Amino acid sequence: MLINGIQIDDTYAEAFNMRGTRVIITAQNHKWAYHAANAMTGFATSVIGCGVEAGIEREMTADETPDGRPGVSILMFAMGSKVLMQQLETRMGQCILTCPTAAAFSGITSEDMISLGKHLRYFGDGYQTSKLIAGKRYWRIPVMDGEFLTEETTGMVRAIGGGNFLILATSQPAALAAAETAIEAMRKLPNVIMPFPGGVVRSGSKVGSKYKTMFASTNDAFCPTLKG
C-alpha cells in the first residue's frame, strides 16, 4: 500500500479485551481542569507496570459539562473490572479531591456502574451531603477551598486496548516527526487515548527474554544500534 509516497504494510496489530470508563473533570478554568486530569492520568502508560492505561481524551467547553464549567474528559482502561475500580477510586482520592476547584462527573452510561465518589464521601467526616438529581446521586464534600462535588458512580464498558503500528525511518528525527504527525491526527478522534509519553513508545518489546525473570524484552530486530 502506497499513501502520499509512504510505503505501508497492511498487516495487523495486537488488541486486548479490556474494561474502560470515562470521567469528566471540571474546574474554575481549563488550567486547573488539566492539572487535575494530568495528575489522575499520570503513571498510566501500560497495564504491565501501571495497573491501568489512562489519558486525556479531549478538552470540553462549559456548554458540554454537567456543571457549566470548563473541563476535560479522561479515559481509563484496565484488564479487569476489579483493577479498574481500585485504580479509579485511588486516583480520584489522590488527584481530583486534592485539586483546587475540581469536580468529577460520569462521562459514560452503562448497565455496569462503578464507584466514582461513592466512597470518597467519607472524607467529609459526616459533614458531606448528597442530592439526587434526575436519577443521579451527587456528593458535596467540604474542603478547604469550599466543597468538592462528585457524582457517585460512573459507567464501566467493554473496551479494546493495544492498537499500534511501527514507524520505520532513515533517522531518529524523521521517525519522531512522523510519530508526532500521527499523534496529532489521532488526537482528533473521540474515545481514543495514546497513553505513552507524547503518545509514542520507543521501547517496543518482544515476547520472551534470555533472562528467566523477564517475560518481555527489547525488540532487538528493530533496534538500529544492533544493525550489523
pLDDT of 228 above 80? no
pTM, full prediction: 0.93
Cα separations in angstroms, 117 against 106, 148, 174: 10, 10, 45
**Triad 16, 22, 28: Cα angle to 5°:** 145
Question: 3-state class of 51 per DSSP?
Answer: coil
Which stretch of DSSP H or E encloses residue 108? Answer: none
pLDDT of 53 above 90? yes
Which stretch of DSSP H or E encloses residue 182? Answer: helix 172-186
Place of cell 532487538: 220
Q: For the chain, what percent of residues have pLDDT higher than 70? A: 100
pLDDT at 13: 86
Q: Assess if CATH 3.30.70.520 describes domain 165-226.
A: yes
What are the pLDDT digits (tens) for 100-111? 999 999 999 999
pLDDT at 163: 86
Averaged confidence pLDDT in the chain: 96
What are the pLDDT digits (tens) for 131-168? 999 999 999 999 999 999 999 999 999 999 988 899 99
Q: Span 174-182, mean pLDDT?
A: 97
pLDDT of 18 above 90? yes
pLDDT at 6: 87
Q: What is the CATH number of domain 16-158?
A: 3.30.70.520
Q: Span 212-220, mean pLDDT?
A: 94
How confident is residue 43, by pLDDT bands cut at 50, 70 and 90?
Answer: very high
Locate the domains of the chain by residue range: 16-158, 165-226
Question: CA dihedral in degrees (65, 67, 72, 73; nearest 10)?
Answer: -60
In terms of Cβ atoms closer than 10 Å to its own Cβ (0-12, 13-18, 19+), residue 19 is buried
